[in-house]
Amino acid sequence: MPSLKDLKNRIASVKSTRKITKAMQMVAAAKLRRAQEAAEASRPYTERFNAVMAGLSAAASGSDSAPKLLSGTGEDKVHLLVVMTAERGLCGGFNSSIVKLARAKILDLRRKGKTIKILTVGKKGRDQLRRDYGDLLIGHVDLSAVKRLSYPDAQGIAKDILSRFEASEFDVATIFFSRFESVISQIPTETQIIPAKFEDEGDSEATTVYDYEPSEEEILADLLPRGVATQIFSALLENGASEQGARMAAMDNATRNAGDMIEKLSIQYNRSRQAAITNELIEIISGAEAL
């Protein structure tokens, strides 16, 4: 049974931990507001861009001069998986859920006999995947020094992916990230970015027939690289909001658990202290009766 001093030290230690988790929860809440606003502000642009690109790609998909980013290499042998996670932990199952989705994709592709290459964005994803799939890792993007995500960050990642595609290092590229829904809900998502796939949401304005000049192929050749960067930037923003939401929830749970532990330890401390006092009284009374 722990002594009174041990219990007192444990209570002080848990109280210090609770202060830290409470502070981290407040910091995550402040960062979440900015990250959520950025993610939600990017959605209308991304959706509208995808709708326009869907119309363009539908018009150019049957052409022999369609851009390679749209038509692909004609093969489906080598897959590049871009796994986006956080640079830091202490955010619940945020990183693990994205890696779990990527692992399922890897197993599925291996069963089909495909060649797999992995590009990681974020240290936590790299550390988890390196244990079992270290031989598949071909690169890593470190964003630990970035205080606030910007479009040039996404452009840098897109440039690396596009240069690998032009060098015929892979046939299909898929990004993995977590889409932000709420503080308690972040949805792991996978999206194919090469060959480009754009979903038309059925907007009547977006499906209107237009005459393009120059041709659809020339416009797509210019817009498709931007489309890759836009999808990556949107994924980074969604990931940023999801990370802060997951961290806020995790630190809130940790603070509550610390409070429960302090209460239990305090009860145990008081009982032990009362037992010690009772024993001392018994010894004093027994000594007085012996005299």
Neighbour order of strands in the sheet with 172-182: 137-141, 115-121, 78-84, 172-182, 185-194
Name the nearest CA neighbour of 43 among 244, 243, 234. Answer: 234
Question: Which stretch of DSSP H or E encloses residue 98?
Answer: helix 94-111
* Cα separation values, 167 from 77, 160, 161, 163, Å: 15, 11, 10, 6
- Out of 32, 91, 241, 254, the active site residue is 91
- Examine the residue annotation and report whether 91 is marked as an active-site residue of this protein: yes
* Cα separation values, 169 from 76, 115, 118, Å: 12, 11, 12
Alpha-carbon gap, residue 146 to 141, rounded angstroms: 11
Do 176 and 82 contact (CB within 8 A), yes or no? yes
So which residues are the catalytic ones?
91
